[in-house]
A = this chain, B = another copy of it.
Amino acid sequence: MTPVTSPLTTDLYELNMVQAYLDRGENKEAVFEFFVRKLPPRRGFLLAAGLEDALDFLDTMKYSAEEIDWLKHTGRFRDNLLDYLSSFRFTGDVHAIPEGTVCFTPEPLIRVAAPLPMAQLVESRLINIMHYQTLIASKAARMVLAASGKALSDFGLRTAHGAEAGLFSARASYIAGFAGAANVLAGVRYGIPVVGTMAHSYVQTHDNEMQAFEDFARARPEGVILLIDTYDTEAAARKVVALAPKLKADGIAIRGVRIDSGDLIAMSRKVRAIFDEGGLKDAIILVSGGVNEDLLQTMTKEKAPIDGCGIGVSLDVSTDAPALDCAYKLQEYAGKPRRKRSEGKATWPGRKQVWRAYDIEGRMRGDILSVESDKRSGETLIQQVMRAGNRVAPAPTLAQIRERAARELGRLPEPLKRLEAFDYPVTIADALKAAAAEADRITVKG
């Protein structure tokens, strides 16, 4: 079966256009940039993610004989296209904002400069990778900021949109500061810490809940976490207290419990009280089910005795804003700036750079977006990551990316740290405006 990571994970129009380009020998250098047009409501910043997977895609993109054959049999394409794809290797230049960097609209997260057919051909999958990981890292960052140090885990594989979403979500949330994920493949593929307890079905297979707890603790004696909301949470918490001495006698400690339904904050207090009275002061309380950044803020404000949270659907599908308004647009062709002026979707042309200024306490103060050739002061965010299809430096480790993200979130302006509405200033430099005027001058006569 054709793998889901086939280069035919693309929109047909890319192939249509490449056919047309090849027919006319349109092979000059094209510069495309991927950027987010507009933040969703309530969102104040983005956390860049997905770059390493995007570069892996570019690095390994090739067409199998079966794929070429399938295209041939559609009758839509000519031999020049089929030959081009058969020997395709990505040999372009790529610049990008490093993963784990805070960024804003409309700053480009990634730029591809390559012969036109090549730069066009990678569009659909490049957006597919960058959009989703940046969406999830940005959502997860909000949760991490709201959690004030509670350990968060990605529990969302089941309602993630397909297998790859579950995997990418684990990666993007780990970058943003999550402690781990339940998805085992995230451990295999990315080395992310894998976490997990037990499900209601485990309790349900026993006639007796206390017996279920004991069996599970004996079978999985390392870091026992018991799920206590299958029938009656408070009653179950008392069973845990009753069971603890018996297990302790056999050298098994109950590390804690998980609550997955009801009013999580109110119930955590009741369970904490039962445990504290019952001699389980060290047992931790984890919660799951409906946790999002708003509930995390409330937990923090009300000092709920919650030590960690498993977060599912609100993370993996970014429920409140399940997509970003983003695009991969032609910014320059054959050395000349290009842009579209479509109603509500006009773009800034040219190869761009972002310069960032910080205040005296090291907090982000404002960005300038301009053409790369402009001379501005401040830290530059966009770096070259690929030259002629080869990486210019070894890939950062996931740990390094995660450290960068932690540092970046620490430098957010205070209102953004508190998830408050705040318009971070991104100034469009005069040189960029001049490039737009130049692009218009070239194409208006058309």
Q: Is A304 located at the chain interface by the 8 A CB criterion?
A: no
Contact: A188 with B128, CB < 8 Å? no
In the complex, the count of this chain's copies comes to: 2
Q: Which chain A residues (182-213) contact chain B, with CB distance < 8 Å?
A: 182-185, 187-189, 194-212
Contacts A5-B4, A163-B5, A231-B444 hold; do A16 and B196 have CB atoms under 8 A apart?
yes
Partner of A20, one of B71, B219, B319, B322: B219
Our pick among B67, B167, B207 for the contact of A9 (Cβ within 8 Å) is B167
A103 to B160, CA, bound (A): 22
Stretch among A342-350, A366-374, A388-396, A402-410 lining the B interface: A342-350
A242 to chain B, nearest CB (A): 12
A182 CB to nearest chain B CB (Å): 4
Cβ B12 vs Cβ A340 within 8 A? no
A residues 205-231 near B (Cβ < 8 Å) are 205-212, 215-216, 218-220, 222, 229-231
Q: Is there contact, CB below 8 Å, between A342 and B260? A: yes
Stretch at the interface among A24-32, A247-255, A273-281, A429-437: A24-32
- Alpha-carbon distance A158/B23, docked complex (angstroms): 26
Q: Please, which residues of chain B bring their CB within 8 A of the CB of A16?
A: 196-198, 220
Q: Which residues from B are CB-within-8-Å of A2?
A: 185, 188-189
Q: Which range contains the number of A residues in contact with the other chain? A: 35 or more
Contact B196 A12 (CB under 8 A): yes
When the two chains form their complex, are residues B446 and A210 in contact, meaning their CB atoms are under 8 A apart?
Answer: yes
A14 contact set on B, CB distance < 8 A: 196, 199
Write the chain B residue with the least CB distance to A132: B161
Please, how many angstroms separate the alpha-carbon atoms of A168 and B161 in the complex?
A: 9
Q: A398 contacts the other chain (Cβ, under 8 Å)?
A: no
Chain B CB within 8 A of A262 CB: yes
Segment of A92-100, A293-301, A324-332, A418-426 in the binding face? A324-332
Chain B residue numbers with a CB within 8 Å of A209 are 443, 446
A231 pairs with B446, CB closer than 8 A:
yes
